Amino acid sequence: MKVLKATRIERCIGCHICSMTCARLVHGLLSWQDAGIRIKSAGGISTGFEAVNCLACKEPVCEKVCPTEAITRRKTGGIRINRQLCIGCTRCADACPVNAITLTGSGFPIVCIHCGLCTRFCPHGCLEMVDMAETDNRQPGEGFHG
């Protein structure tokens, strides 16, 4: 099972191509802010950047707080959001310990699905899909940080 990790984030120049790829090609949206991976400054242009994306927690808090069971764990890591069941309550985004869930203008949650599409478009090779051990014991808020 593979999950997205920013293994070489020190190379990042903050171009947001990964976010635009995710927003447009995965979620069908037009804003780099409406993406499963978002890049943010680590404190200033000279201090580099951080990748914000789902850590594929073993016991996702977002799944537990969803009142309609719209969020379910994926066997391959991460979560799945059922648009038909989602009521836009924002509890999942509020509960995520790493702020990996973003909300669209209509209130629908967007999260990294660990598809790896963004890795193909990163011009500096900052991102990659990494094998996750089956015996991994990550808890919410622990895991693959960018």
pLDDT digits (tens, 9 = 90+) for 63-82: 999 999 999 998 877 899 99
**Cβ 117 vs Cβ 5: under 8 Å:** no
Average pLDDT rounded to a whole number, residues 47-56: 91
- Given pLDDT bands bounded at 50, 70 and 90, which one contains residue 38? very high
Mean pLDDT, all residues of the chain: 87
Tens of pLDDT, residues 127-136: 999 997 643 5
Locate the domains of the chain by residue range: 2-131
User: What's the pLDDT score for residue 144?
Assistant: 38
Which backbone phi and psi does 143 adopt, to 5 degrees? 140, -140
Average pLDDT rounded to a whole number, residues 8-28: 94
Beta-strand ranges (E) seen in 1-146 are 2-5, 37-41, 49-53, 71-73, 79-81, 102-103, 109-110, 128-131
Tell me which CATH code domain 2-131 carries.
3.30.70.20
